Amino acid sequence: MPLPRTATTFAPPVMEARRWLDSLTFSEERPLINVSQAAPVAPPPEALRQHIAEIAVSKPEAHLYGPVLGLPELRAEVAAQWSAAYGGELKHENVAITSGCNQAFSATLSAIAGEGDEVILPTPWYFNHKMWLDMQGALAVPLPTNADLLPDPDKAAALITDKTRAIVLVTPNNPGGVEYPDELVQAMYDLAKSRGVKLIVDETYRDFDSRTGAPHQLFADPDWADTLIHLYSFSKAYRLTGHRVGAMIAHHDMLAEAEKFLDTVAICPNQLGQHAALWGMQNLGKWLASERLEVLDRRAAIADNLHKLNKNGWNLLGCGAYFAYFEHPFETPSDALAKSLVRNHSILTLPGTMFTPESDPLGARTLRIAFANVDRTEIATLFDRLSDVTSPPNT
């Protein structure tokens, strides 16, 4: 008898890691440092919360079903801002608003892939992408990255078969943190276009890219919609994680197929969250710029404290946006190491085994540090604690 769809994949990694905290207590002298999840823990700025409250009171229709593909004014604002940012020409019919970026990915794959089709994922991969492909009955084809955590277009080309439907890129990357160079993204786009497959570019963390200007030129191609599907999340930019608002930018025919999925799963995205995202896009530019600078400063704090770990054999493989991805120096696999870190050093992080196929040795050697919710002082303390791990931990 075939397995239920959910039984074909693994347990949600963040939820699994949280269960490691069961029965544990942490002292005031050594409080838990939680670097396991890439999500803001602070609420939206007060002005945005006030706007949400005003919409909740003044717009009765905000409590009803809305358009499946999202509020027209939010779709138009995304199209306008993306056109200005990327140098292309997008229309509102190229934009759909979704219940978070995870739903955007699920809707995209439901619209372009079927049972037994293949999707190329660079490894280490974002685990929810792998989970959805498992549950959809599609095959995630691992594309091992180079030592700098960047995928190689030539290696991707060698993996394309007649069952391949898409190549997926996440930049800035989750979990690796690396920012994919413009020329790499362009090469992947050119490859996908030449082979008749889609290129899915997830830019959830685009607002925290260290580079100025457009990180790629894909929208400048007048035929971009034939190949490119772009995904985004408002959660990180405006701290709207609980409101579940994301976006997908694609050909309008593809969005019509995705609409079938979206209507069946959620009917429409959260109305209050959409109004919040629209207000944020129109009014919080300076605030978001300051948030970006703060995240970049925390990235700099990683570099400032790196010497504490380098002397013990740790190796920083990638750093950017919300993440630092480390190779640890121990023979102990990273899943056992991560559990030991929370028990013995009051650090909750995720092991590389959660981001790689079981057969990939990189997973056992690596850890992801999500540093966006720890300030400079906490980052220094984190590195002090990690530097104390000088021998393989007890398992």
In order along its 395 residues, the chain shows pLDDT tens digits of 778 999 999 899 999 999 999 989 999 999 999 999 888 888 999 999 999 999 999 999 999 999 999 999 999 999 999 999 999 899 999 999 999 999 999 999 999 999 999 999 999 999 999 999 999 999 999 999 999 999 999 999 999 999 999 999 999 999 999 999 999 999 999 999 999 999 999 999 999 999 999 999 999 999 999 999 999 999 999 999 999 999 999 999 999 999 999 999 999 999 999 999 999 999 999 999 999 999 999 999 999 999 999 999 999 999 999 999 999 999 999 999 999 999 999 999 999 999 999 989 999 999 999 999 999 999 999 999 999 997 665 55
Amino acid at 388: D
* Strands in 17-128 per DSSP E: 33-34, 95-98, 118-123
Q: pTM for the full model? A: 0.95
Long-range contacts of 296-301 (CB under 8 A, 24+ apart): 296/208, 296/210, 297/376, 298/371, 298/372, 298/374, 298/375, 298/376, 298/379, 299/210, 299/324, 299/371, 301/371, 301/376, 301/379, 301/380
The closest alpha carbon to 195, from 231, 217, 165, belongs to: 165
Q: How many Å apart are CA 231 and CA 213, to the nearest integer?
A: 18
Residue 286 CB partners (closer than 8 Å, separation 6+)? none
**Residue 109 phi, psi dihedral angles, 5° rounding:** -70, -35
Name all domains of the chain by residue range, CATH numbers in brackets.
5-43+287-387 (3.90.1150.10), 46-283 (3.40.640.10)
- Residues 124/114, Cβ–Cβ less than 8 Å: no
Element containing residue 209 per DSSP (H, E): none
Amino acid at 178: V
Q: Looking at residue 391, what is its pLDDT?
A: 67
The closest alpha carbon to 300, from 326, 320, 328, 327, belongs to: 320
Q: Looking at residue 393, what is its pLDDT?
A: 57
